[in-house]
Amino acid sequence: MPRFCANLSFLFDDVDFPERFARAARAGFTGVEYMFPYAWSPDELARLLRENGLVQVLHNLPPGDWAAGERGIACLPGREAEFRAGVERGIEYARALGCAQLNCLAGLAPAGVPEAELHATLAANLRHAARRLAAHGIRLLIEPINSRVDMPGFFLDTPRKALALIESLGEENLWLQYDVYHAQIMEGDLARTLERALARIAHVQIADNPGRHEPGSGEINFPYLFGLLDRLGYPGWVGCEYRPRAGSEAGLGWLAGWR
């Protein structure tokens, strides 16, 4: 049976962020993920995890200036020193929180920069980050994000591109974060991708399409996919990264059969 974790950047967002840990625990979750921890001290977050009996499953490396519209800097030439400093900050938080996986957002492709230069920058940054994280027993993940609906211009926008990059780099500590919502928009063929790429998939995230709402609200056959993950022996977590239509707890009915 899949292990589900609550994404606190999306769920229980009717209360302040620190209060969401207790809400997740009361809803039956044993693990949490969220986009970024950096607005809070590692000690405060570790306390919230400990007091609520939760595992920190995942968070992202620093993404640049999110408020200004940046969505990662790993592909941006000239930002390498900032990226490397972000890797060290991510490691600091991950170690304090007992988090074994960090996700890297590639970023938006800037106009006028050749694709080959962006690819080379991303590859060099991922190689550095994979090796630094490996030294601390932390996995580095990359996530393809759809460029059609949610993030136009996102450089790494399909699982096919991400898997090709992983293969070309040959880094043992570089893994795929497979978000079925983004994958459905860009490629579909979810089941065959899971079957083919499971050995390099370290984390799965879910939301239905269209709308990025809870499972059962759209076109994706989640009972089939959850059963497939079980049959394939997927050992990781499944992150609930969706926008509830009618409140977080009210939207958890889909989960009842998968406890």
**Which active-site residues does the annotation give?**
143, 241
Residues in the chain: 259
106 C-beta neighbours (distance < 10 Å), count: 28
Q: Which residues, 6 or more positions from 49, have their beta carbon under 8 angstroms from its beta carbon?
A: 21, 32, 55, 56, 97, 98
Threshold 0.75, pTM exceeds: yes
Per CATH, the number for 3-258 is 3.20.20.150
pLDDT in tens, 79-115: 999 999 999 999 999 999 999 999 999 999 999 999 9
pLDDT tens-digit profile, the chain (259 residues) = 799 999 999 999 999 999 999 999 999 999 999 999 999 999 999 999 999 999 999 999 999 999 999 999 999 999 999 999 999 999 999 999 999 999 999 999 999 999 999 999 999 999 999 999 999 999 999 999 999 999 999 999 999 999 999 999 999 999 999 999 999 999 999 999 999 999 999 999 999 999 999 999 999 999 999 999 999 999 999 999 999 998 899 989 999 877 6
d(CA 70, CA 99): 24
pLDDT in tens, 72-81: 999 999 999 9
Q: Domain limits of the chain?
A: 3-258
**Which pLDDT does position 258 carry in this prediction?**
77
